[in-house]
Structure 1
Amino acid sequence: MNRLLNSPHHTSVVYPLQASHLGHVMPFARLLERRGTGRLWLGQSLGIETHHIFAALTGAGIHIPFGSSVALSPLRHPYDAAVQARSIAQLSGLPFVAGIGPGSREFQSAVRPAPLARPVTAAREYLRTMRALIDGETVHSDTDEHSTHAVFPVMDAPPVEYGLGVLRPAMARAAGQVADVAITWLTPPPYIRDVLVPAMKEGAAESGRPVPRVATVVHAAVERPGRDIPAIAHAAARAHLGADHYTDMLRRAGVPAYPSDTQTGARLLVESGTFVAGSPEQIADGLDRYRDHGVDEVIVNVCGVLNAQGLGAAVTDLTEILTAVDVRRA
């Protein structure tokens, strides 16, 4: 059994690109399978759809846990999201983390008549509907976004855990109210501890629920001769650094990034330790800093190396980083 299921603090991996071929994802999955611990996460893939990738990996004999970080809720009704999530749990034979998020206002406008009027409320209602369906409740719900009047077919499957993509305090509070996992991306460690976790605790107390555990996607790259780490960071995070909601979060966290200057934003990510670089051992230290600030599951993201230097270089970095982490925890 993958030791992730019995570990309170663990290190996982994200395949960080839009997948266009299963063979591109397979080295990440095989690495985790050989390692015997860690979850494979994927964001919303608009190439090969995220849940289809998980199903294909399971069909190829991979036996590791999966999580979505995050699936974009405007693409599907919560009933369909519940079907997808429980399907992956059943096919993999392991608990699945169904992480969802509303996406940017620009994405919402691309697939809806207009951006979500209340994205935090919509996300909270969406997860509540998913949970009720999978729990076997008869759901009668009319929200601003969806109507659901249904009961789910009964199936004996491993549990689905419910995740919410979190960047700012309002969504963190909503995660506390309805989620099992708060999934953060590009969030500096002090901001997680001082802003997001207190908001999660507040939401959890309001709903009488346990505080969600925190899973954070952390960009990393091994320093090597000739590697320009700020350039690698830019290759990793350029799109996020050009987005208003991510840079707003970074400025709240004390990292003065602006969409108009993604190059400076990338340098600031490195300087602040939000992008973790150095030797594999130094990166392990940097990942521990996230744990020290309240993160339960660190998700290593080698997107910058993958974009700048290719799949082989990215898998080499990832292997060395995970080895350093595992040696430390042996």
Structure 2
Amino acid sequence: MQTSNASSPAASRTARERIGLAIAAPDAASAVAAIVDAEVAGIEQVWMTQVTPAPDTLGIYTAAAMKTSKIRMGTAIVPTYPRHPLALAQQVLAFNDLVPERLRLGVGPSHRPIIEGVYGLAMADPLEHLREYVAVLRGLLWDGKVDYQGRFYNVKSTFPRAPHTPLLVSALRENAFQLAGAISDGALSWNCPVHYLLEKALPALRTGAASEGRPVPPLVAHIPVALSQDRQEVIAAARRQLGLYGKLPFYAKMFANAGFPVSPEGELSEALIENLVVSGDEATIEERLKKNLEAGLDELLIMPIPVKNGKDEQFRIMRLLGQI
């Protein structure tokens, strides 16, 4: 088991620099307000998922950037299949022209119920598709030009400038973490037990990086947090927010690989929820988050789980992360 990551560049940064907050809001204006509140609280990084259907995350970030001064913003993730990489790169270029060096672009294939069931797009070979997608983005965002011919994309374009935006990718299973090590500037996990990340994901990430002779990119670990000491209420709240994932094949396979198989109906076990969710009072949560960083995780992406009063709990979590 990996117990230390002292050689990682992340290890030299403070805990606050290595912890970000996931923003979820009912509309774009509320999301912008939450990002402003996060900066005021002292948080240095926020993350948003491009949910389908929901307002455009990069549009929200552009508006929020005009009302903030330094907070970094990351997408975790923008699904690849519905959005051509050239079109996405144009959005990134516009954002960077307005507020340079404050965006981290996370992309990933999403899931068949979304890509095929909602968009009506064929989801063939998601990891190979992701590899090509990132290759196009890398050329445009880092070299300022691309001339790429592949199975999924044939793109030729030149940008007026290269914003050098970090490119992160989603990863659940070992082959995806290995790909992340080979092509990305960071791996974004989601609902992965910590021991699975330390014992399987990080070694795969290192293997992928070594195969290309490049530095090991950081692993950003998604950590659900519930500000409550009531075990049964935490389990119930987590099932409400996370229950869908047990019914998604990619996640079900990862949970089983981590030692927590879901039921035939896709229900998450109490043992899995207790492993995934950090809960307790502020002091307990802070201690556990710091231990996760000390154990070898490069960064944490904190997603609040509302238990009783979501608005108050989010405010208290913001305050905790801004002072950690």
Mapped partners of 2:41, 2:264: distance in 1 = 38
Amino acid at match of 1:315: Q
Mapped partners of 2:133, 2:75: distance in 1 = 15
Preserved CA contact (<8 Å) 2:140 2:158 = yes
Unaligned segments of structure 2, at least 5 residues: 1-9
Q: How many pairs are equivalent?
A: 310
> Greater relative contact order: 1 or 2 (C-alpha under 8 angstroms, separation 6 or more)?
2
The equivalent residue for 2:283 is: 281
- What is the percentage of aligned positions where both structures have the same residue? 22
Mapped partners of 1:146, 1:113: distance in 2 = 15
The equivalent residue for 1:298 is: 300
Mapped partners of 1:163, 1:221: distance in 2 = 26
Preserved CA contact (<8 Å) 1:30 1:62 = no
The equivalent residue for 2:317 is: 318
* Cα deviations by residue, 1:224-283 (Å, 9 ceiling, x for unpaired): 569711011112212222212112111111122246142xx15223332x1111111111
1:11 to 2:16 alignment: no
Amino acid at match of 1:43: T
Inter-CA distance 36–271: structure 2 relative to 1 (3 Å threshold) = closer
Preserved CA contact (<8 Å) 1:64 1:94 = no
Amino acid at match of 1:231: A
1:40 to 2:33 alignment: no
The equivalent residue for 1:244 is: 249
1:183 to 2:191 alignment: no
Deviates most, 218-227 or 193-202: 218-227
1:52 positional shift: 0.5
1:291 positional shift: 1.6
RMSD: 2.4
1:192 to 2:197 alignment: yes
1:84 to 2:115 alignment: no
Preserved CA contact (<8 Å) 1:33 1:64 = yes
* TM-score of the pair, normalised by structure 2: 0.87
Amino acid at match of 1:285: E
Mapped partners of 2:47, 2:278: distance in 1 = 19
Amino acid at match of 1:44: Q
Amino acid at match of 1:78: P
Mapped partners of 1:62, 1:53: distance in 2 = 15
Give the ranges of 4+ consecutive aligned residues of structure 1 lying more than 6 Å apart after TM superposition.
none
1:153 positional shift: 2.0
Preserved CA contact (<8 Å) 2:28 2:60 = no
* Cα deviations by residue, 1:49-103 (Å, 9 ceiling, x for unpaired): 1101101111234541100001101121111121222332332333311100001
Amino acid at match of 1:271: E
1:1-330 to 2 correspondence within 5 Å?
Answer: 7=13, 9=15, 10-16=18-24, 19-27=26-34, 29-45=35-51, 46-61=53-68, 63-109=70-116, 110-116=118-124, 118-154=125-161, 157=163, 159-223=164-228, 228-258=233-263, 260-262=265-267, 265=268, 267-272=270-275, 274-302=276-304, 304-305=305-306, 309=308, 311-319=310-318, 321-322=320-321, 326=324
Mapped partners of 1:270, 1:106: distance in 2 = 23
Preserved CA contact (<8 Å) 1:223 1:278 = yes
Inter-CA distance 62–102: structure 2 relative to 1 (3 Å threshold) = same
Amino acid at match of 1:223: S
Inter-CA distance 53–310: structure 2 relative to 1 (3 Å threshold) = farther
SS of the residue aligned with 1:66?
A: strand
Mapped partners of 2:122, 2:309: distance in 1 = 37
* Cα deviations by residue, 1:180-222 (Å, 9 ceiling, x for unpaired): 1101011111111111111111111111111110111210111
1:312 positional shift: 1.6
Mapped partners of 1:289, 1:240: distance in 2 = 26
Mapped partners of 1:36, 1:73: distance in 2 = 32
